[in-house]
């Protein structure tokens, strides 16, 4: 609560902010402004429309910023002349005019107060050149951040696209090879079918072969997993069986039959149902059936892998989803890991400790994926430059009314001398041309400004942890989101 008081030119003139003003300017300040006495309590709150420019005359003020669910004190002072409030009113409606912090007074405190529109008018009339310079600096920095931020996103997209292309190429190439091989096998089966049809086989023998073919196809899908030693032993056994029954190319046929889970007892079953002259053709026919089934399985697995990668990319990009909605954070993390899999490589182990009881969290999913991308990519870079191996650990948990995502790496760590600067715009430790210095700044803005969460870091050699806290309940969007 505030109450009006008289405004004295001599008192205002003593403030460092106004000491160089002319007498007529000081008179106008007292005429257009006012002096107020504020009682202990909150004078204004972060995020509210900025309506006044405040200059401290006497008393004590404390400034707070909202970080997650906490109010963090950023300044406490009794220095006369310090100012706060609508300091960017001269920019007008070209930028959101809101209070960037919460101001509290701890004792009866006097302020000189200018309405925001009056402050803007005075600045533009008295200091036109300074206003132009300030506008240039403000919008220049903002435009630079946007341009480099866009480049950061494009670089990340290019890197992710290259990784995805590489991941897609492997199953696509495998499917193409399997199709080519399948064509050859089908052509061979057509030849053998002609042989069977033109041979002296009874209807009963053909029925036996067709039944055996179906049984063989069914057994392929149920083939047991054998160890290398078990596989070698079974191949030797089948090779001996085939040789003993006068079947040529046994060394080629035996591995195929073993891969389908067939053994010598099954061959004995087939031999007992067809006569000896028919047996070589029957075994070759069944071997080709096995090869065809295995090739079709390979095609199915390859196309399923491609479908999985496309679904993961779609999940990562959130192309068909509402921008703000309840999301499963684990799905977002997994899609990001998939997109970065080519960067992670075999030298980095990935450990995931997910709390599967966590509920969905209201969020901008695509932007959270950008946060995970920046943090995981930095972790990979830290481990790649520090050692040949490393471990990336991703943990989720509930912390009161917030969801925690912790991304940990075993790299060299962040030097304590620069730890306080890593979230600053344009700050980077990477060589020129390799980093924009906006990755962590963007992550901070997305987590703190847009999601009302918190982003912090703890680091020691071999143990660096970035911790993201997100509210489990939706909150009113912050006006700073557009900044």
Q: Where are the domains of the chain?
A: 2-126, 160-308, 322-482
The helix (run of H) or strand (run of E) holding residue 345 is none
Give the integer Cα–Cα distance in Å for 173 and 146: 40
Pair of tokens at residue 432: 């020129």
Q: CB–CB of 324/358 below 8 Å? A: no
| pLDDT for position 218 | 74
Question: Taking a C-beta distance cutoff of 8 angstroms, is the pair 396, 403 a contact?
Answer: yes
Cα 414 to Cα 241, 384, 406, 438, 458, distances in angstroms? 65, 14, 16, 17, 9
Provide the CATH topology of domain 2-126: Jelly Rolls (2.60.120)
d(C-alpha 133, C-alpha 165), whole Å? 47
pLDDT at 333: 92
Q: Are 440 and 425 in contact (CB under 8 A)?
A: no
Chain Cα centroid distance, residue 384: 19
CB neighbour list of residue 226: distance below 8 Å, 6 or more residues apart = 234, 258
* Spatial separation of the C-alpha atoms in residues 426 and 441, rounded to whole Å: 8
What is the rounded CA–CA span in Å between residue 58 and residue 306?
A: 69
**Category of 413 on φ-ψ map: left (φ > 0), alpha (ψ -120 to 50) or beta:** left
Residue 404's DSSP bridge partners are 397, 469
Write down the pLDDT at residue 245.
Answer: 84
* Distances in whole angstroms, Cα of residue 103 to Cα of each of 401, 449, 452: 26, 18, 19
Within 10 Å of residue 282's Cβ, how many Cβ atoms? Answer: 23
Averages of pLDDT over runs of 10 residues in the chain (483 residues) are: 78 87 89 90 87 90 74 82 82 77 90 89 80 68 60 57 65 76 72 62 72 75 79 87 84 83 82 79 79 79 72 57 80 85 82 93 86 88 72 93 92 74 58 52 84 88 91 61 39
| DSSP per-residue string spanning 137-162 | HHHHHHHHHHHHHHHHHHHHHHHHHH
Placement of tokens 């069944």 in the chain: 286
CA distances to 139, 219, 224, 237, 455 from 230, in Å: 71, 18, 11, 11, 53
pLDDT for res 432: 40
Q: What is the DSSP letter of 206?
A: H
- What pLDDT score does 469 carry? 92
Q: For residue 454, with 0-12 CB atoms within 10 Å meaning exposed, 13-18 middle and 19 or more buried, which class applies?
A: buried
Three-state SS string over 383-447 comes to: HHHHCCCEEEEEEEEEECCEEEEEEEECCCCCCCCCHHHCCCCCCCCCCCCCCCCCHHHHHHHHH
Ranges of beta strands (E only) in 247-347 are 324-327
Q: What is the CA radius of gyration of the chain?
A: 36
CATH topology of domain 322-482: Heat Shock Protein 90 (3.30.565)
pLDDT for the residue numbered 369: 85
The DSSP output letter for 115 is E
The pair of three-digit structure tokens given for residue 321, joined into one six-digit string? 């989803």
């Amino acid at each position: 609560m505030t109450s009006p008081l008289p405004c004295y030119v001599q008192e205002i003139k003593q403030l460092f902010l106004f000491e160089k003003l002319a007498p007529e300017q000081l008179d106008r300040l007292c005429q257009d402004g006012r002096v107020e006495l504020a009682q202990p309590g909150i004078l204004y709150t972060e995020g509210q429309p900025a309506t006044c420019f405040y200059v401290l005359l006497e008393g004590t003020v404390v400034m707070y910023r909202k970080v997650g669910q906490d109010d963090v004190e950023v300044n406490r002072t009794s220095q006369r002349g310090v100012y706060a409030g609508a300091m960017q009113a001269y920019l007008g409606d070209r930028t959101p005019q809101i209070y960037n912090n919460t101001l509290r007074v701890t004792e009866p405190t006097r302020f000189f107060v200018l309405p925001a529109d009056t402050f803007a008018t005075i600045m533009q009339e008295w200091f036109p050149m300074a206003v132009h310079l300030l506008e240039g600096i403000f919008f220049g920095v903002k435009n630079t951040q946007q341009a480099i931020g866009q480049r950061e996103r494009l670089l990340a997209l290019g890197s992710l696209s290259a990784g995805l292309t590489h991941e897609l190429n492997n199953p696509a190439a495998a499917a193409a090879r399997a199709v080519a091989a399948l064509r050859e096998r089908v052509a061979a089966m057509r030849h053998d079918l002609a042989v069977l049809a033109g041979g002296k086989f009874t209807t009963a023998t053909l029925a036996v072969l067709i039944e055996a073919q179906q049984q063989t196809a069914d057994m392929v899908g149920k083939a047991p997993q054998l160890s290398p030693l078990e596989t070698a032993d079974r191949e030797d056994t089948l090779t001996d069986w085939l040789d003993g029954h006068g079947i040529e190319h046994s060394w080629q046929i035996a591995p195929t039959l073993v891969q389908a889970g067939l053994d010598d007892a099954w061959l004995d079953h087939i031999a007992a149902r067809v006569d000896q002259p028919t047996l070589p053709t029957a075994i070759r026919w069944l071997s080709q059936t096995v090869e065809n089934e295995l090739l079709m399985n390979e095609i199915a697995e390859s196309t399923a892998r491609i479908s999985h990668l496309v679904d993961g990319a779609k999940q990562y990009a959130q192309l068909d989803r509402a921008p703000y909605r309840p999301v499963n954070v684990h799905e977002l993390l997994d899609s990001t890991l998939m997109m970065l899999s080519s960067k992670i490589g075999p030298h980095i182990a990935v450990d995931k400790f997910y709390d599967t009881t966590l509920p969905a969290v209201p969020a901008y999913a695509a932007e959270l994926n950008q946060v995970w991308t920046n943090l995981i990519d930095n972790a990979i870079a830290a481990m790649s430059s520090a050692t040949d191996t490393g471990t990336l650990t991703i943990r989720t948990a509930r912390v009161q009314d917030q969801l925690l995502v912790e991304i940990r790496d075993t790299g060299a760590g962040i030097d304590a001398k620069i730890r306080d600067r890593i979230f600053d715009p344009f700050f980077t430790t990477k060589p020129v041309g390799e980093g924009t210095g906006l990755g962590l700044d963007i992550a901070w803005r997305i987590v703190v400004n847009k999601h009302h969460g918190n982003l912090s870091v703890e680091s020691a050699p071999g143990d660096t942890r970035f911790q993201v806290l997100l509210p489990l309940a939706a909150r009113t969007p912050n006006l700073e989101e557009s900044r």
